[in-house]
Structure 1
Amino acid sequence: MNYTQQTAYSDPGEYAVLLDPLPTNIPELTAVIRNLLIHYRGGGIQFTGERLEEINHRWIDALLATDQRRNGTPLTTPRAPEDRVAGCCRDYALLLVSALRHQGVPARTRIGFATYFQPGWNADHVITEYWNGDRWVQVDGQLEPGEHWGFDVQDLPAGHFRSAAEVWRGFRAGEIDGETCGVDPTLPFRGGWFIRDYVFLQLAHLQGDELLLWDGWGAMADDLSMDLTPTDELAALLLAADAGDEAAATKLRDRYREDPDLHPGERIEVRSPSGTPPYLVDLATRQKLPWPAG
């Protein structure tokens, strides 16, 4: 995949002109991203109603449309926290990817788990990777840089963020307790099934379908009652591709295109943390559809 090209999800559309004047260096660019977004759970503001529904912005052009309706100013103009668009780690990562691709820089979102939010906890997380001409650099654009992290959040050291495939391998080997992997220790969204679903999310994002973390399709499930061998094989291919194996990357691309269980179809299932009942979305028309009866 050509990671300099916008996808249906990262494309700023009519708002591309807003990206033209953005800085090209990572510290300043990530500061712009944090000026536009606020985490719906960790931003210190309790969002409800339509404001909470902002977390379901699946497409960057829709996210920028919301910002412009509310603020109507250049993206570098300071916004008060309450005027920022409510989102999550995926939105910080994808908006940064959109800005980098707009500048011709190869960039992609990565799905996995971070070890640096709570001791002993592997928090589900999305970060950005960009190609600096020599290697893929991992950036957590959601985080304000600071010495208190103990590492550079704009060039993450190995091990601080692990891909879903890497965590799945550790889980299957008995090296990682699945109960320490998920959204939050106080919530039921954790465990082996959660890691498995994130392997499919990781693949989708790498193939240019940068969907929401609560979108569902195909082989995803909330248990581990199925044959896990195909997931093991998929994770192995993802890890090999990350290590530079072009044959593995090609096999992943082909399997993703050919296997309907691996990629979203025309419609996806949405179980949003905004509290709305589950529903479907037509990805072509962007229309919200009712959940099937029965």
Structure 2
Amino acid sequence: MDTVVPSVIDHAAHTAYSDPGAHAALLDELPTDPGALGEVARNVIVHYRAFQPQLPEATRGDINTRWLRAILDTDQERHAAPLAEERELATRVQGCCRDHTLLCVGALRQHGIPARSRVGFAGYFTGGFHHDHVIVEAWIDGGWRRFDPEVEAPSPELATPLDMALEAADATGFTTAAQAWVAYRRGEIDASRYGVHPDVPEVGGAGFLYGEVIYEVAHRFGDELLLWDAWGRIAPPDAPVSDEDAALADEIAALLLAADAGDLDAERRLLERYRSDPGLHPGPRILTMDPFGGPPAHVTL
């Protein structure tokens, strides 16, 4: 495998979030094939929203488990078995796309394969709407390859979930947050069709697109936080986007797109910008929202 990856950081190294801690041996046992790895992720983690009627309220707190080692702690407390051994749906760790992706990214890194999470929007779940979403990007056969571990099988909307296009998506593909922001600024998309769910319009729109750009750069550089965590310049999605914030998102999105195109100088400048701006990177204390409607809470990382 060609591991000379055009990047300014080592994506084969664990971050604080992907480190399995005492459970490294569990990841050592896993396959690295995207399809098989996705099966394991869906076996360990169940989507809290898609399967909510079948899941116990008592384990809803699983969704705030940020670190892979803690996700695996929770799983092993319930099962004490290899991760590929089938779990009953109701006993799986409640999570979302970010968690499916984190498990896969952690497993790939454990095997020395560069991998990272990509934050953006999926147009293949609900016609005409783009849900916020996180997928895997791994360095396979000398190039970046994207796959969605949450998708079990191909569909008319997503014919190749294990080998997704890297370029900007059409109406039913995956679009990075940077691509979506640039398209919005050009007047090419309707921001109201981008968010958490079409039935929750207040968690979507221009402010949501803006926040997703910050999430994208954070995940790229190893701060793989939850999609309902907030820090620095991330504001409620229904808050107006100021001219200053829009200019910042323009700058960060342009650097992300240039870095994706292979411009290492742009990626280097992006990393410096990210690390130097406390409005972009999370500090030791963040605010987390509650997807179930409870009050926000401060969390020490």
Partner in structure 1 of residue 211 of structure 2: 197
* Letter paired with 1:104: G
Which residues in structure 2 correspond to 1:27-106 (within 5 Å)?
Answer: 27-43=35-51, 45-47=53-55, 49-106=57-114
Which stretch shows the higher mean deviation, 206-215 or 76-85?
A: 76-85
- Please name the residue that 2:235 is paired with: 221
2:160 aligns with 152
3-state SS of 1:239 partner:
helix
Trace 1:138-287 onto structure 2 (pairs within 5 A): 138-157=146-165, 158=167, 159=169, 160-187=173-200, 188-222=202-236, 223-226=239-242, 227=244, 228-283=246-301
Q: Aligned to 1:45, what secondary structure does the other structure show? A: helix
Q: Is the 8 A contact 1:53 1:274 kept in 2?
A: no
SS of the residue 1:251 aligns to: helix
Structure 1 residue 111 corresponds to structure 2 residue 127:
no
The Cα shift of 1:46 comes to: 4.7
Quick one: distance in 1 between partners of 2:158 and 2:178?
A: 25
Quote how far apart the aligned CAs of 1:23 are. 1.5
Q: TM-score, normalised by structure 2?
A: 0.91
Identity of paired residues, percent?
A: 46
Once the two structures are superposed, residues 139-181 of structure 1 have per-residue CA deviations (whole angstroms, 9 ceiling, x without a partner) of: 1001102355551101113411111010000111110100000
CA contact (8 A) 2:230 2:287 kept: yes
CA–CA distance in structure 1, aligned partners of residues 291 and 158 of structure 2: 31
Point out where structure 1 has 5 or more consecutive residues left out of the alignment: 284-294
CA RMSD of aligned residues (A): 1.3
Letter of the aligned partner of 1:233 in structure 2? E
Greater alpha carbon shift after TM alignment, 151-160 vs 256-265: 151-160
Match of 2:138 among 130, 140, 145: 130
CA distance in 1, matches of 2:281, 2:35: 34
For 2:251 and 2:155, how far apart are their aligned partners in 1? Answer: 39
| Secondary structure at 2:126 match in 1 | coil
Q: Spell out the pairing of 1:3-22 with structure 2 (5 A cutoff).
A: 3-22=11-30
Distance (whole Å) between structure 2 residues aligned to residue 50 and residue 232 of structure 1: 42
- Letter matched to residue 262 of structure 1: L
Check conservation: 1:100, 1:106, Cα contact below 8 A. yes
Which secondary structure state, in structure 2, belongs to the residue aligned with residue 117 of structure 1? strand
The residue identity in structure 1 corresponding to 2:299 is V
CA-to-aligned-CA distance 1:5-48 (integer Å, 9 cap, x gap): 00000100001111111123222121111111110011253545
CA shift for structure 1 position 247:
0.8
Provide the C-alpha distance between the structure 2 equivalents of 1:27 and 1:178, rounded to a whole number of angstroms: 32
Q: Secondary structure at the match of 2:290?
A: coil
The one-letter code of the counterpart of 1:279 is A
For 1:244, the aligned partner's letter is G
Distance 2:156 2:248 in 1: 41
Q: In the aligned structure 1, how far is the partner of 2:91 from the partner of 2:283?
A: 34
TM-score (norm 1): 0.93
Aligned residues: 283
When structure 1 is superposed on structure 2, of 171-180 and 271-280 the one drifting more is: 271-280
Structure 2 counterpart of 1:170, one-letter code: A
2:72 is paired with a residue whose SS is helix
Secondary structure of residue in 2 paired with 1:115: strand
Would you say the 8 A contact 1:40–1:86 is kept in 2?
yes
CA distance in 1, matches of 2:191, 2:85: 42
- What letter matches 1:89 in structure 2? C
Contact 1:45/1:82, CA 8 A, preserved across alignment: no
State the Cα deviation string for residues 52-96 of structure 1 (Å, max 9, x = none): 111001000000000001111111111111111110010001110
